[in-house]
Amino acid sequence: MLYIGVDLGTSSVKLVLMDETGKIHGTTSREYKLYFPQPGWSEQNPADWYNEAIAGLKDLLKDVDKSEVAGISFGGQMHGLVILDENDEVIRPAILWNDGRTQKQVDYLNNEIGKETLSKYTANIAFAGFTAPKILWVKENEPENFKKIKKIMLPKDYLAYKLSGTFCTDYSDASGMLLLDVKNRKWSKEMCDICGITEDMLPKLFDSFEKVGELKHDLAAELGLRDGVVIAAGAGDNAAAAVGTGTVGNNKCNISLGTSGTIFMSSDSFAVDSNNALHSFDHADGHFHLMGCMLSAASCNKWWMDEILKTKDYADEQKGIDKLGENHVFFLPYLMGERSPWNNPNARATFTGITMDTTREDMTQAVLEGVAFATRDMYEVAKSIGVAPKRTMICGGGAKSPLWRRMIANILNVEVDVPSCEEGPGMGGAMLAMVACGAYKSVEEAAAAIVKVDKTEKPDPELVAKYEARYQQFKTIYPALAETFDKII
């Protein structure tokens, strides 16, 4: 049978068609517009998601036996606010994860309600990207729209609703709303009261691998599919991508070196660090995960190459770097401020330790190492609460660099595995559909059967020792500059 994973991203929707063995039978992508009505605002039209997803499904299925399609599921951009009225019409454009208009509401939640209280209710604190601050923003700035709200949902859940008619979400995506009691896997009444909403405005909660309904008859006919195609709940993009890299079950890890960077650690047990430096979320496998997100990862290297060195030959710039663990130049990778573990939008990137004999290669090496050291910062927080995987998958554009993989392996002292197939959240979505259809008994079983390792970078004890000394130096730099960052903004 065939299964479809729908990756609803910020710039496009990507679709993957897979069978139970993990063989890819087709992929397609459709773009849509991103709107910036004011500086710092970021919005999209949910109708664009739906229209392009349907067009993508038609394109994906044009040359396959449509009777073989058994299920559809999702990985989606998280945190976005989609609100519908009593007629199921979208009230206003969706406010996205990267929208920055809610700082006043974030400050209210963190400082007046209090971080400790928020963590008690939801296991997390407020960030500008989260959904609850957006609800408060609409309440304060668009009261007429707020009064119309009958349904509140996340981006991928709008697609699930349009395809199946079921008002649903999954625990992993709901974890990023700041409305879910993550530990007890239920909506937080206290957070609903704080936001001025009622629980019936929120979708029914499902595990990511659960069937929420079936593809509507009229849509099945339009797409040429049989009746009975299963729609599964799906997951937030990071959790879906983790499924696609086999980061499920206890004590597994995935590092993503994309535009932003994440470290994602799955666990059978609930955990939260005392400073909420990492997000504590429910996972798509039915358990839990910790996740740290740095705002600039591979984008640091892109900035250094494109804007400063004026080159597109990234690989050539790395050829002369051969003295790992010996660099005296350090780079703080905070080009966009920083999320984990500092939660400081005022943090800035810096080079430290430059001397007259510093070379071009030293600077390039420092940029790559800075991202790896910052990843180690997040890993250390997880270690402090007993989550310490000794190997990790790695994905994203930066993972294509053998040098960067070697740095990650030795700076974190973990084995770094490269998956043989990387299709991101779409692959994870397809795997969740397989579980919902009964092709596998669990997400762990699906991952064990489908996810394969192409190559592994193992840490070298001598290099680990050198980098340990360098990391101890690196981790003193941000605390020394934190007050200065606040003064120069």
Known binding-site positions for substrate: 78-79
**Interatomic CA distance for residues 101 and 439, integer angstroms:** 44
Structure tokens, 235: 């997951």
Handedness of CA 454, 459, 463, 466 (dihedral sign): positive
String of b and e for 472-483 (b: at least 16 CB within 10 Å)? eebeebbeebee
Beta carbons within 8 Å of 290's beta carbon, 6+ residues apart:
264, 265, 267, 271, 273, 278, 279, 280, 281, 382, 387
Per DSSP, the residues of 34-50 read -B-SSTT--EE-HHHHH
Outline where 131-187 has alpha helix (H).
131-141, 143-148, 155-164, 171-174
Please tell me the distance from the alpha carbon of residue 231 to that of residue 371, in angstroms, as a whole number.
Answer: 38
Residue 237 annotated as catalytic? yes
Say which of 7, 99, 181, 237 is annotated catalytic: 237
Instruction: Return binding residues.
Output: 78-79
| Cβ partners under 8 Å of residue 444, min gap 6 | 248, 249, 285
Nearest to 375 by CA among 256, 202, 231, 469: 256
Q: Contact, 83 vs 149, CB < 8 A? A: yes
Q: Active-site positions?
A: 237
